[in-house]
Structure 1
């Protein structure tokens, strides 16, 4: 009868089967020993047969242990690889977060710097405007206000003449004005040689057009009829020809 036909034998566990094999081997060895007690080769054979189950058991245990160790090693390696991957991913996330944070800080710093520069520029412009306004106010405060009459015209003319280094005094100007026009800024000479030549003498100091144009001072009105412009141009001409209006005592 084959082993497969033995009832229940196929359901025996592997260790049970090995134990039965060991018992059978021991029994066989005992029988052989009782038959040939003095034969040395028989004794060796008995030892070999007796050792067979142990060797089979040892080989089975070694393979099982090796398989278990290999399985554990594989599990450990897989776990280590998983943990390494997780650590790498975490490190990458930390690095990305740090980079994003650094970028955000850099952008914030750049915005703050731009805002500070814009503020400084605006403040500088405001200070410049304030300084210009203050300077204009000081200049306006320093500029004297002259009366709109003969006295004021002479004093304003002297103020302008001083800036342009044109000599002359109040007395010399007033004296010549009174002789030439009696202080009338609208006076005009329509009968002398200049009038006959088409260039009548006009204004406080009776200046003809060519002389006025040649000796006009920038900053005054470009008109012979303007009293201040008339005085300044006439004094400039007198300074060039006579050294000063103070030296003029007759028609000039």
Structure 2
């Protein structure tokens, strides 16, 4: 908090002292102007007493002396001039105080505006970062259309579905079952003789594929990613993980 200015108080005090001094001088001059020039000391004392008594009376005082009236007029003129100067100084200081108050108010307003602008910029930056994160989360990763890409995409889905398995486990079993051919089909084993041949990268029969198919993948045994995820889901249920499979399953 800023300490209140004492300039106005000092001016008022000086002003009062000045006026008081001049008023005293005026009173003295007026008193002596009432004393006749040929009066004795004793008479002067009586005149002073009479003058003092008259100054406190409500009756008007008549000035018969030309010299006294001139002095009183000069004193009144001086008082009026000093009043005018004091008022002018007070006016100047009032204008300065007003200018300072306006400057402080403007600085405060500018500070608030800057703080508001900074807060808005930070909020905009946070919103942009959040939007970018959401776009990144919603954006589906792209994978190569080959065995490496199929395994990576399958692992991405398996992670979301909490199906265990690693790249090594999937790749090892795929190479043993189909040599990496998504169109591979077994037409000679017992499953084929029963009318449900093993199909795809991990050689899954249709009943198993239908039971362990993962929603969101194509419902086709020949689809490489759907085949891998369904087989890994089946292996997790029966063996704990596709990584634990080392032969026909």
Which of the five TM-score ranges fits, normalised by the shorter chain? Answer: 0.3 to 0.5
Q: TM-score, normalised by structure 1?
A: 0.43
Task: Find the structure with the greater CA-based Rg.
Answer: 1
Which structure has greater helix proportion?
1
Q: TM-score, normalised by structure 2?
A: 0.43
